[in-house]
Structure 1
Amino acid sequence: MQRKIKHILGITTFAIALLFISCKDDVLPKPSSQLRLDYPVAEYAAFENHCPITFEINSDGIIKEDNNCGFSITYPKMKATIYLTYKNVNGDVDKLLRDAQKLTYEHVIKADDILEQPYLNPDKKVYGMFYNVNGNAATNAQFYVTDSIKHFVTGSVYFYAKPNYDSIMPAADYIKNDMQHIMETLKWK
């Protein structure tokens, strides 16, 4: 009888050991991957109000106007805002140009590079500059446009996150395209 009990215990122990060994998952290497951020294709609509400018904005942006024809276009999904400021030239276009350029080059401390892209549209009388600010600066894109006589508009984008260019690059590129579209569709009334 003891022999049968030992035999049954031996078989039971073997079965339990076999069960634990067979339940072990094989470790397989996982393929490398990267974060993929897909944003919808931009759909633009004309924006017009009582201010002396019109332009097209992305339907994903939420626009708010202040009292002086300044605008903020918020992108909640990307935690970013484009700020547009309108000013009358009042005969001092040189001062406005210096201020706009100074604002951009204040980011040179954190920026790796600032690329200037001139913009000229003689048909609409819109002239300006678009700045790509590369690196961990507070803004990665700015622009100004003017007709040199009456109107002056500046634009910049800010993210509500610590500037880390690699992390925000997909969103930054998306919004940078929207900023260029605003600049290229801007018209004076």
Structure 2
Amino acid sequence: MKRLVLPLLSVLMLGCGDDSLPKPKGYLRLEYPNAVYEKAVLPLPFSFEKNKLADPIKTVKNSGSLNGVDIKYGALKATIYLTYKEVKNGNIDSLLRDAQNLAQKHTIKADEISQRPFEIKEHNVYGMLYEIGGNAASQSQFYVTDNTNHFLSGSLYFYAKPNYDSIYPASEYLKKDIKHIMETVRWKE
């Protein structure tokens, strides 16, 4: 019996070491500077404030006329694309429909799309912010209008394959910038 107990006891003592556990997943801790905004004065019928973190604004011409703005964030590998269209001949309904359809095109990859109405009556600015969750190509879409003369739409895109977990911190940071752009749009008369 002693012969059996001694080997059994030694096996139990050797087997009771620290169990190896898998390491928990590590996440990058990305911190961005507090946003400092400056007025973007452009040869377009509107102005707004942009984050100083963004690269210098690039204006875009379409059919020979200036109608767009690219706000690039080189450090975040992202761009907010703004497109301006004049409201004329009752085309506000088609402009609104196009902006809504553009956001809805992301439903294939999106986990959710939330809509937030936007309104600043004293400056005649009305719109909608679409926040898109999941591995969609764009994480945010928006539009603002005065319903009679001006229509401005915008989209946020990253220069990477959509991976929501990876771009989430940058996306949240840039959503604040988008909200600030919407809040500071002023129509020129």
Same fold, judged at TM 0.5 (above): yes
Equivalent of 1:61 in 51, 54, 66: 54
* Separation in 1, partners of 2:180, 2:120: 13
Which residue number corresponds to residue 72 of structure 1? 70
> Residue 174 of structure 2 aligns to which amino acid in structure 1?
I
Q: How does 1:87-126 map to 2 (within 5 A)?
A: 87-90=85-88, 91-126=90-125
> Residue 40 of structure 1 aligns to which amino acid in structure 2?
P
* Separation in 2, partners of 1:178, 1:161: 20
Q: Compute the displacement of 1:48 (Å).
A: 1.0
> Residue 46 of structure 1 aligns to which amino acid in structure 2?
K
Task: Indicate the larger mover: 70-79 or 60-69.
Answer: 60-69
1:162 lines up with 2:161 in the alignment:
yes
Q: Compute the displacement of 1:31 (Å).
A: 8.2
* Separation in 1, partners of 2:176, 2:163: 19
Which residue number corresponds to residue 41 of structure 1? 34
Stretches of structure 1 lacking an aligned partner (at least 5 in a row): 1-28
Runs of 4+ in 1 over 3 A off after TM superposition: 29-33
| Cα shift readout 1:71-121 (whole Å, capped 9, x = no counterpart) | 000011111000000000102100000000000000000000000000011
> Residue 33 of structure 2 aligns to which amino acid in structure 1?
P
Which residue number corresponds to residue 12 of structure 2? none
Q: How does 1:125-164 map to 2 (within 5 A)?
A: 125-164=124-163
Q: Compute the displacement of 1:50 (Å).
A: 2.0
| Cα shift readout 1:121-150 (whole Å, capped 9, x = no counterpart) | 110000000000000000000100100000
CA RMSD of aligned residues (A): 1.6
> Residue 81 of structure 1 aligns to which amino acid in structure 2?
T
Which residue number corresponds to residue 51 of structure 1? 44
Paired positions, count: 162
Q: How does 1:2-13 map to 2 (within 5 A)?
A: none
Which residue number corresponds to residue 173 of structure 2? 174
Stretches of structure 2 lacking an aligned partner (at least 5 in a row): 1-20
> Residue 85 of structure 2 aligns to which amino acid in structure 1?
K
